[in-house]
């Protein structure tokens, strides 16, 4: 066969003897069928007397005029040939149709995982797995995409965590996040840096449980109808340190150079102040006030009054450093807590004396609620509040899971961390990733590139996150210079029959073949993956080519469109600028 390759820049291979045989065989079959029809026509045509049963004899007789050619014989021949032609045409049309939705790399799918390799991700296996986990209330499984080879939908287990890497506008939000949010009846935590995900899923999710939208930077204009106290995460010094760390990592990039001494003391100082605020039942905004004035001893006195004398002493030591050192430590810490002075942020983190519900992150894992967290980079470190809330909800979900049979949430919690690098600056995420799945906390993390993840969690952290994920997907729009060669290697090699033709005066043109190994997809193929296509890898399975399923192809498409139209309409009415990205 001719080695056709629809990718640009690839030459078709020269034709060889095989091709000639195929064309010759096709023509010969056509002649044989034609002759058979001609003979059959003659036999059943009463007008053709003395017709021989031998086709050759008949043809010779009729050519010589010994036997007449009958009308019915001609009709049978013509009709038979027409039927054959119609059949061939139909085959071409069906083939074309089935190829209409195929992209230029789909022919490579057969070199990758076959549908039986992915049986574990199929609907039947997913349903059985969900039954085993007793998670039927949540849904069939976590929707992923469809396998290009079979067109069948794929589902992830309620015990698996996922990582998705795709460039901007490649379909992360509309093809993956939205189905994952809507195809469960359990609690959902979703993050984003814009209104899209909220508008599109808020309507349908409001019918499942309460919807909480946290918009601490005022990105989508959500009113502060509720509040959450970040200090409620604290119950000992360790949790205070974790909370402080979220404020630090939200204000800095992983690996960014800071003075190690000042940073470590600054962090220690911040965790002591936060712990003191919690102990004294003060609002978190007090931490900002204390951070401005190294002479302010309220935090130390609070700790002392509540019998935390060792901590009070440690705090005092920092406050009593030489003025130069002390100013260095305070100066390093201040930018981390600046967010607590923002007018827009304050109503989200403290009770303003208005009757508003306080969000209880401890109850979330047992609810069927939806918590949307919207924030983005810039805007100071306001995303610290978002990251803190993610940390609080997930940590508490783990604790709740420990009290349930099998140490797992019976109805799993879905955490769809869209735009995670911008929104969820929680450095511990890669460390906790691997065991969240087994707790029934299904985390899907979305990045625009591998390097975006490195920026947020550090090289080690991102490698860990990738390694811990059970489902790993890389889609279109990626161009990382280290990640793509790695992915290409992961997909593996294939044997290809290479033909080369040579012409010489003596023997004329000759074609020779040899088997060679080449990458199934090389870096340029991966960099040019069309929208809607992605590579899925999972432990114990070969990589597979998948087709993302846009929400508009799902049964809830109307519901999503309706929700989007309604909430965007509300935003327009309020005079909010709609971010189209
Ligand atoms: N497979 C697809 N079929 C149809 N439209 C798509 C598909 N993938 C993405 N889109 C459209 O492209 C735009 C960007 O998609 P989006 O999901 O927001 O990308 P991302 O979240 O990766 O930036 C949206 O308007 C979306 O509807
Ligand atoms: Mg998106």
CATH of the domain at 428: 3.40.50.300
Three-state secondary-structure class, residue 535: strand
* pLDDT of 254 strictly over 70: no
Instruction: Based on the fold, state whether residues 330 and 389 are members of the same structural domain.
Output: no
The rounded Å distance from CA 151 to ligand 2 centre is: 24
Instruction: Answer whether 0.85 is exceeded by the pTM.
Output: no
**What pLDDT is attached to residue 6?**
64
Tokens at residue 573, please?
């009415």
Whether residue 221 lies inside any domain: the answer is: no
The rounded Å distance from CA 142 to ligand 2 centre is: 18
> What is the position in ligand 1's atom list of the atom closest to the CA of 548?
1
**What pLDDT is attached to residue 105?**
78
Instruction: Based on the fold, state whether residues 181 and 243 are members of the same structural domain.
Output: no
DSSP string, 239-289: HHHHHHHHHHHHHS-TT----HHHHHHHHHHHHHHHHHHHHTT--THHHHH
> For a substitution probing ligand 1, which of 145, 170, 171, 195 has the most ligand atoms within 8 Å of its CB?
171
Q: What is the pLDDT of residues 106-150, one digit of tens each?
A: 888 888 878 888 888 999 999 999 998 888 888 899 999 999 988
The rounded Å distance from CA 178 to ligand 2 centre is: 10
Instruction: Based on the fold, state whether residues 335 and 389 are members of the same structural domain.
Output: no
**What pLDDT is attached to residue 2?**
44
Q: What is the pLDDT of residues 334-369, one digit of tens each?
A: 999 999 999 989 999 998 888 899 999 999 999 999
Instruction: Based on the fold, state whether residues 531 and 448 are members of the same structural domain.
Output: yes
**What pLDDT is attached to residue 353?**
81
* pLDDT of 99 strictly over 70: no
Whether residue 425 lies inside any domain: the answer is: yes
Q: Provide the mean pLDDT of the chain.
A: 88
**What pLDDT is attached to residue 581?**
44
Whether residue 54 lies inside any domain: the answer is: yes
CB 486 within 8 A of CB 515: no
Q: What is the pLDDT of residues 504-518, one digit of tens each?
A: 777 677 777 888 888
Whether residue 309 lies inside any domain: the answer is: yes
**What pLDDT is attached to residue 56?**
85
* pLDDT of 17 strictly over 70: no
CB 371 within 8 A of CB 188: yes
Instruction: Based on the fold, state whether residues 397 and 515 are members of the same structural domain.
Output: yes
Instruction: Based on the fold, state whether residues 48 and 168 are members of the same structural domain.
Output: no
Instruction: Based on the fold, state whether residues 398 and 511 are members of the same structural domain.
Output: yes
The rounded Å distance from CA 169 to ligand 2 centre is: 6
Q: What is the mean pLDDT of residues 225-241?
A: 95
- Owning domain of residue 27: 17-100
The rounded Å distance from CA 190 to ligand 2 centre is: 12
The rounded Å distance from CA 334 to ligand 2 centre is: 32
Tokens at residue 267, please?
């962090």
The rounded Å distance from CA 327 to ligand 2 centre is: 42
Domain count, the chain: 3
Q: Which ligand is nearest to the CA of 170?
A: 1
Tokens at residue 399, please?
């604790």
> What is the position in ligand 1's atom list of the atom closest to the CA of 174?
17
Sign of CA dihedral 108, 114, 120, 126: positive
Whether residue 501 lies inside any domain: the answer is: yes
> What is the position in ligand 1's atom list of the atom closest to the CA of 418?
21
- In what side-by-side order are the strands of the sheet with 188-192? 153-156, 142-147, 544-547, 533-538, 471-475, 162-165, 441-447, 413-417, 188-192, 370-374, 211-214
> For a substitution probing ligand 1, which of 143, 146, 174 has the most ligand atoms within 8 Å of its CB?
174
Whether residue 312 lies inside any domain: the answer is: yes
Whether residue 366 lies inside any domain: the answer is: no
Whether residue 65 lies inside any domain: the answer is: yes
> What is the position in ligand 1's atom list of the atom closest to the CA of 196?
18
> For a substitution probing ligand 1, which of 169, 172, 477 has the most ligand atoms within 8 Å of its CB?
169
Which residues neighbour 97 within 8 Å (Cβ) at sequence distance 6 or greater? none
**What pLDDT is attached to residue 579?**
47
Tokens at residue 339, please?
């967010």
Residue list, ligand 1 pocket, CB within 6 Å = 166, 168-175, 196, 531-532, 548, 550
Instruction: Based on the fold, state whether residues 428 and 326 are members of the same structural domain.
Output: no
- Residue of higher predicted confidence among 27 and 581: 27
The rounded Å distance from CA 554 to ligand 1 centre is: 14
Q: What is the pLDDT of residues 44-68, one digit of tens each?
A: 888 777 777 888 888 888 888 888 8
> For a substitution probing ligand 1, which of 103, 144, 175 has the most ligand atoms within 8 Å of its CB?
175
Instruction: Based on the fold, state whether residues 299 and 397 are members of the same structural domain.
Output: no
**What pLDDT is attached to residue 560?**
96
Q: What is the mean pLDDT of residues 425-449?
A: 92
Backbone angles phi, psi at 393, to 5 degrees: -65, -45
> Atom 17 in ligand 1: which residue has the minimum CA distance?
171
Q: In terms of DSSP bridges, do strands 544-547 and 142-147 run parallel, antiparallel, or are they unpaired?
A: antiparallel
Geometric angle at alpha carbon 7, from 5 and 10, rounded to 5°: 65
Picking from 388, 245, 237, 392, the residue whose alpha carbon sits closest to that of residue 306 is 237
Instruction: Based on the fold, state whether residues 502 and 390 are members of the same structural domain.
Output: yes
Instruction: Based on the fold, state whether residues 172 and 277 are members of the same structural domain.
Output: no
CB 165 within 8 A of CB 473: yes
Three-state secondary-structure class, residue 427: coil
> Atom 11 in ligand 1: which residue has the minimum CA distance?
171
Instruction: Based on the fold, state whether residues 390 and 518 are members of the same structural domain.
Output: yes
């Amino acid at each position: 066969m001719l080695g056709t390759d629809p990718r640009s820049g690839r030459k078709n291979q020269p034709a060889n003897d095989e091709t000639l045989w195929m064309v010759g065989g096709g023509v010969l079959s056509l002649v044989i069928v034609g002759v058979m029809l001609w003979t059959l026509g003659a036999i059943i045509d009463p007008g053709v007397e003395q017709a021989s049963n031998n086709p050759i004899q008949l043809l010779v007789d009729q050519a010589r005029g010994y036997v007449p050619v009958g009308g019915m014989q001609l009709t049978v021949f013509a009709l038979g040939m027409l039927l054959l032609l119609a059949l061939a045409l139909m085959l071409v049309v069906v083939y074309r149709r089935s190829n209409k939705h195929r992209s230029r790399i789909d022919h490579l799918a057969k070199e990758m995982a076959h549908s039986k390799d992915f049986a574990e991700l199929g609907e039947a296996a997913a349903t059985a797995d969900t039954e085993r986990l007793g998670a039927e209330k949540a849904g069939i499984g976590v929707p992923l995409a469809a396998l290009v080879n079979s067109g069948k939908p794929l589902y992830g287990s309620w015990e698996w965590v996922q990582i998705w890497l795709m460039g901007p506008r490649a379909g992360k939000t509309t093809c993956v996040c939205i189905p994952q949010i809507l195809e469960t009846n359990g609690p959902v935590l979703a993050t984003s840096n814009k209104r899209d995900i909220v508008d599109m899923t808020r309507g349908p999710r409001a019918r499942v449980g309460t919807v909480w939208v946290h918009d601490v930077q005022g990105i989508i204009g959500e009113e502060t109808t509720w509040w959450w106290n970040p200090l409620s995460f604290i119950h000992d010094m360790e949790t205070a340190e974790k909370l402080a760390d979220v404020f630090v990592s939200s204000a800095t990039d992983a690996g960014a150079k800071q003075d190690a001494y000042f940073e470590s003391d600054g962090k220690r100082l911040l965790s002591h102040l936060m712990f003191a605020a919690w102990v004294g039942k003060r609002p978190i905004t007090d931490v900002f006030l204390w951070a401005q004035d190294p002479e302010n001893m309220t935090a130390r006195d609070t700790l002392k009054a509540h019998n935390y004398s060792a901590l009070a002493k440690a705090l005092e030591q920092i406050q009593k450093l030489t003025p130069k050192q002390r100013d260095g430590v305070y100066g390093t810490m201040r930018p981390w807590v600046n967010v607590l002075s923002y007018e827009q942020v304050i109503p989200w983190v403290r009770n303003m004396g208005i009757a508003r519900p306080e969000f209880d992150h401890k109850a979330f894992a047992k609810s069927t609620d939806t918590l949307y967290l919207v924030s983005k980079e810039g805007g100071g470190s306001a995303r610290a509040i978002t990251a803190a809330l993610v940390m609080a909800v997930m940590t508490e979900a783990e604790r709740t899971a420990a009290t349930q049979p099998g140490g797992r949430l019976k109805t799993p919690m879905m955490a769809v961390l869209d735009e995670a690098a911008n929104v969820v600056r929680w450095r511990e995420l890669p460390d906790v990733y691997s065991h969240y799945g087994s707790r029934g906390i299904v985390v899907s993390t979305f990045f625009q590139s591998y390097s975006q993840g490195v920026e947020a969690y550090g090289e080690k952290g991102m490698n860990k996150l990738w390694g811990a994920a059970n489902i790993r997907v890389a889609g279109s729009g990626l161009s990382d210079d280290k990640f793509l060669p790695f992915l290409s290697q992961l997909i593996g090699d294939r044997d290809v029959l290479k033909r080369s033709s040579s012409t010489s005066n003596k023997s004329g043109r000759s074609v020779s073949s040899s088997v060679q190994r080449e990458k199934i997809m090389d870096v340029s193929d991966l960099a040019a993956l069309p929208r809607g296509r992605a590579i899925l890898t999972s432990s114990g399975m070969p990589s597979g080519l998948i087709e993302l399923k846009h929400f508009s192809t799902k049964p809830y498409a109307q519901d999503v469109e309706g929700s989007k139209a309604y909430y965007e309409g509300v935003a327009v009415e309020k005079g909010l600028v709609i971010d189209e990205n």
